[in-house]
Structure 1
Amino acid sequence: MDRSTQHSDQRHAVITVAICFLIAVIEGLDIQAAGIAAAGIREHFGLDSSQLGVFFSAGILGLLPGALVGGRFADRIGRKKVLIWSTAVFALFTLCTVWVNSFESLLAVRFLAGAGLGAAMPILITLASEAVSPQNRGRAVGLMYCGMPVGAAILSLIASTDFGSNWKNIFYLGGLLPFIVIPLMMWLLPESREFLKAQAAGKDVTAQNAAPKASFKDLFNSQNLLRTLFIWVSYFFTLMVVYIMLSWLPSLFMELGFSRKEGSTAQFYFMVSATVGTVILGMLTDRWKKAYVILLMYGGILAGLFALNAAGSLMQMYMASALVGAFVIGCQGVLYAFGSIVYPTEVRGTGVGVASAVGRVGAMLGPAIAGQLLAAGFGAAGVISAAIPCIIISAIFMLLLVRRIQTV
């Protein structure tokens, strides 16, 4: 490879990961927005804890069809086009959140905003992983996905200002920012070279023998069946815990007797450490044996959950929040990196998209179940304890996936 080609490849990778990082920042703003705006929305619409859990889950439910459709279309017509359209859909319906006047219409616009965001996420993962060599995919996805906790941490800081005290301003911000980034994507974002190569190869093959394009069924062929099932289970239970923490952490702190401001501060620590954890775990995915990374990240999540249950003082709670954040969000980044490693180029968008959709089912159920547990009187300790078996199951299936990859 000559120097000019190498420089071109590096520039392609940097621009792709940087723009995907910006979209991930916007995702982090949106995910955090529901939790931060919850008190204002509860008061504005007169909601109880159970209805608030449904509100949290509505946006997450939208992620499911979005992930299914987004990944599939990205494999057919291109990563860049689908990412731009999905970002526009998300932005439009996020803005609509401030204009609705009933609980039902609130749920509808959150669902549709979630659909746009859900379509974007598997494409971000696919673009970031395909912009670099296979040896650097974990690092690229980690650097891209750390934008999510960065966005959430930024919104936590904004929430402590006068501007952030009005819940509508939070959704104005989340809806307008994507419209600034969309022109950047149209102008600067390159299409995935791996996609263009696969598309060209597919045209050549089709011209020769009319071979069909890859489809959902390819996720269940002899090569991919067990990989698909293992990664689905891990995504489902891990994202269930991730979204319980993202949606309910400030409220869980208040259940434990701390103030709303202290809960927001805990969320900030959670997100700052999540940023560091996502980058470090992504780098370790490329450098360590995959089984060691899995044991480290799931062991870290369990340690953080036990620390949250055992902590007594405010500082101990902050430290426990930071520990959970570093590993639970970092773990999600590693799972996304694994999705890009597990599947070949022609079904990578579809495979990651479907796995994300399965994970979103867990993400949707998690906050709703937490709301029911709190309403039934189990308290914050009950919610945290319920998350522990989910993490153990996820770890077991990820280890089985690694073994499957190494033996095939």
Structure 2
Amino acid sequence: MTTQPIARSGAVVTLSLCFAIALLEGLDLQSVGVAAPRMAREFGLSVAQMGLAFSAGTFGLLPGAMFGGRLADRIGRKRVLILSACIFGLLSIATALVSSFNMLVLVRVLTGIGLGGALPNLIALSSEAVSSKARNTAVSVMYCGIPFGGVIASMIGIVSMGDTDWRHIFYVGGAGPLVLVPLLFAYLPESKAFSKASHGASVKPAPVSEVLFGASRGLSTLQIWISYFCTLIVLYFLLNWLPSLMAARGLSRPEVGYVQIFFNIGGGLGALCIGMLMDRLRGGVVVSGMYIGIIASLAALSMAPGFGALAASAFFAGMFVIGGQSVLYALSAAFYPTAMRGTGVGAAVAVGRVGSVVGPLAGFCRDKKRVLSKA
């Protein structure tokens, strides 16, 4: 069993707080998809404009991840995580206050910077809170907060089904991180591994080229980047367009919400199960099975004839796509040494975010006219 190394008080506190931030990040990431039909009606948006609105937040994720990870190797994971939580909390509330499409795009880009800065530090803090034997499980425990946050977003969408106002979901998503900031200050311990590597002082990280490509890391870095890119294309396409695509298949709004809930529940369970398997089995076997599962579940999702089949297909798609992404985060955290882990993970997340931008934008290239007209 690999759960024993996790059962230390400091690790439990770290994983609990990181899970809470990941939960709120997942809520924010899927808020736009849930609010999309009502936003489109209020602002008179085309499908192409909605694709841009979906991708706006992910544009910000790219520089946020890169600079957030880099800064964490200089001043610490805890400080950068707190700063990132403040940014995406305040900007999520600002999303609810926008009055035009241009303002919406700008605010979502800035929100993405905060979200992007948080993720590499959540990964680093979780992986460094436990022994190397439990690292995949720890990162998976943290990361399953993201799909469970998506469950909350979907439930808010179902509860507010008859309400034409889409703004309340962003008020909820913005208030949560701001409430957690004092708890992060008071209770979140800085990574002992980082403190040991930096000797308790601010340090100057190694050059980026040395971190990513030095000491024969070049090929592995490129492999990690390609895996992130391909997986995040699929993940963010589904995160943003799944509600609208299901509506275009003729599902009612409650049914759309339930399909999205199944997708996220599958993602959370997949993150936990696949992460634990990575600590028990050969990594190559688990990753190969994960990609086979992604292909099979997406094929099933495209051919599912009705609500029941769509819900089941969405569950398995979430299990393998979201669960698989959590494995990639754990692998990158394990690959880079402590002193450069923030930079290495941040760069991988940033490259993956290019895929997360491509995914939503690709959504309106297929069947442009149907998606929002039936949403």
When normalised by structure 2's length, the TM-score is: 0.94
- Counterpart position of 2:146: 148
Pair 1:215-2:207 in alignment: yes
Q: 2:281 aligns with which of 263, 288, 292?
A: 288
What SS class does the counterpart of residue 25 from structure 1 fall into? helix
| Structure 2: distance between partners of 1:121 and 1:144 | 10
Map of 1:336-351 to 2, 5 A cutoff?
Answer: 336-351=329-344
| Structure 2: distance between partners of 1:237 and 1:146 | 20
- Counterpart position of 1:176: 175
Contact 2:140–2:272 (CA<8 Å) still a contact in 1? Answer: yes
Q: 1:310 aligns with which of 303, 306, 320?
A: 303
Q: Which amino acid aligns with 1:86?
A: S
Pair 1:366-2:359 in alignment: yes
| Structure 2: distance between partners of 1:180 and 1:33 | 19
What SS class does the counterpart of residue 167 from structure 1 fall into? coil
- Counterpart position of 1:65: 63
Pair 1:76-2:68 in alignment: no
Q: Which amino acid aligns with 1:313?
A: G
- Counterpart position of 2:28: 30
Q: 2:107 aligns with which of 101, 109, 120?
A: 109
Deviating beyond 4 angstroms after TM superposition, the runs of 4 or more aligned structure 1 residues are: 6-9
What SS class does the counterpart of residue 160 from structure 1 fall into? helix
Q: Which amino acid aligns with 1:80?
A: K
Superposition deviation, residue 163 in structure 1: 8.2
Pair 1:48-2:43 in alignment: no
Contact 2:22–2:145 (CA<8 Å) still a contact in 1? Answer: yes
Structure 1: gaps (5+ residues): 1-5, 207-211, 381-408
Pair 1:253-2:253 in alignment: no
| Structure 2: distance between partners of 1:29 and 1:201 | 34
Contact 1:149–1:275 (CA<8 Å) still a contact in 2? Answer: yes
Cα deviation code 1:101-132 (max 9, x no counterpart): 11111101000011001000000000000000
| Structure 2: distance between partners of 1:164 and 1:267 | 18
- Counterpart position of 1:189: 188
Q: 1:264 aligns with which of 257, 265, 274?
A: 257
**Length, aligned pairs only:** 367
Contact 1:72–1:353 (CA<8 Å) still a contact in 2? Answer: yes
When normalised by structure 1's length, the TM-score is: 0.86
Higher helix share: 1
What SS class does the counterpart of residue 184 from structure 1 fall into? helix
- Identity fraction in percent: 46
Q: In the superposition, relative to structure 1, how do residues 154 and 49 fare at CA in structure 2: closer, same or farther (>3 Å)?
A: same
Structure 2: gaps (5+ residues): none
Superposition deviation, residue 223 in structure 1: 2.1
- Counterpart position of 1:227: 220
Contact 1:202–1:213 (CA<8 Å) still a contact in 2? Answer: no
| Structure 2: distance between partners of 1:150 and 1:268 | 9
Q: Which amino acid aligns with 2:346?
A: G
- Counterpart position of 2:86: 88
The structure having more radius of gyration, on CA atoms, is 1
